[in-house]
Amino acid sequence: MRLELVDLGATTISDETNACLTQATIPITGGDDKATYGEVQTMSALGLTARSYPETPEGKAEGVIVPDVGNEDGIIVGARDTRSEHVYGELEPGDTALHACDPEAASMVICYGSDKERNKVLAMTKDTAGDNILLVLDGKNDAIQISGFGLHFEMSKTNGITMSDGGATFTIKDGTIILSGQVQIGGVLPTHKFMVGTDATFAAIKALPGMAALVFQAAGVTSTGM
């Protein structure tokens, strides 16, 4: 079986077969001097399909093509793009990454190996300000974490459930609800803001009119636990 290394360019979707078609060329003497296969089908693993990003001054995608397959001039059976080195360059032995093919894209999923007790899955992208948004499934520390926009949510065997905006924190652990920060129950005027932290404070909450007292009583809460 003959294989060739080709440069990958623009992609389209076939109107007839719905297959991903990719421009495949072979450099001859450099520049625009290239032999071309035209648009050829790209085959990846089942359940995984990627469309290569066109060439830029920073680099290009390359593929391995099998010429003359069936009634096709060739089919691409593997590809790489060195412009994604910022993702796979950070991997260690045993790690696996799924990432966008656009060299400017920040979206990725990384499955870390367990050889160094990492045992984590990380999904990451960037928000409109260029800051990271993270979802971490942490098998090493028995935790699930979501972080972004200065906010944080965690579920863990050790710490229970915690939500924080960097100032206030809400924690549920061992049947106890712990509030840290300034609290305002719906409908209460700003003059009624208070710090939750003692049984005396809880008594003040129960004394509030309307839904505020009912919510705490219905929950069966008898103490703030602090």
Q: What is the pLDDT of residues 9-54, one digit of tens each?
A: 999 999 988 989 999 998 887 667 778 888 999 998 889 889 999 9
d(CA 128, CA 144): 24
Q: Identify whether the C-beta of residue 46 lies closer than 8 Å to the C-beta of residue 35.
A: no
Tens-place pLDDT, residues 63-82? 999 988 888 888 999 999 99
| pLDDT value at residue 209 | 47
Q: Identify whether the C-beta of residue 22 lies closer than 8 Å to the C-beta of residue 9.
A: yes
Domain ranges across the chain: 4-81, 175-226
Other beta carbons within 10 Å of 141: 16
Tokens for 208, please give them.
Answer: 């509030």
| pLDDT value at residue 205 | 46
Strand partners, 75: 41, 66
Instruction: Burial-class residue 205 by CB neighbours within 10 Å (0-12, 13-18, 19+).
Output: buried
Q: What angle do CA 199, 201, 202 make, to 5 degrees?
A: 65
Say which residues have a Cβ less than 8 Å from residue 191's Cβ, sequence separation at least 6. none
Distance of CA 223 to the CA centre of its chain: 38
Tokens for 139, please give them.
Answer: 């098998």
Amino acid letter, 105: A
Residues of the chain with pLDDT under 50: 192-198, 201-202, 204-205, 208-226
d(CA 168, CA 164): 6
**Helix (H, G, I), strand (E, B), or coil: what is residue 132?**
strand
Tell me the whole-structure pTM to 2 decimals: 0.70
The pairing of strands 72-81 and 33-42 is: parallel
| pLDDT value at residue 80 | 92
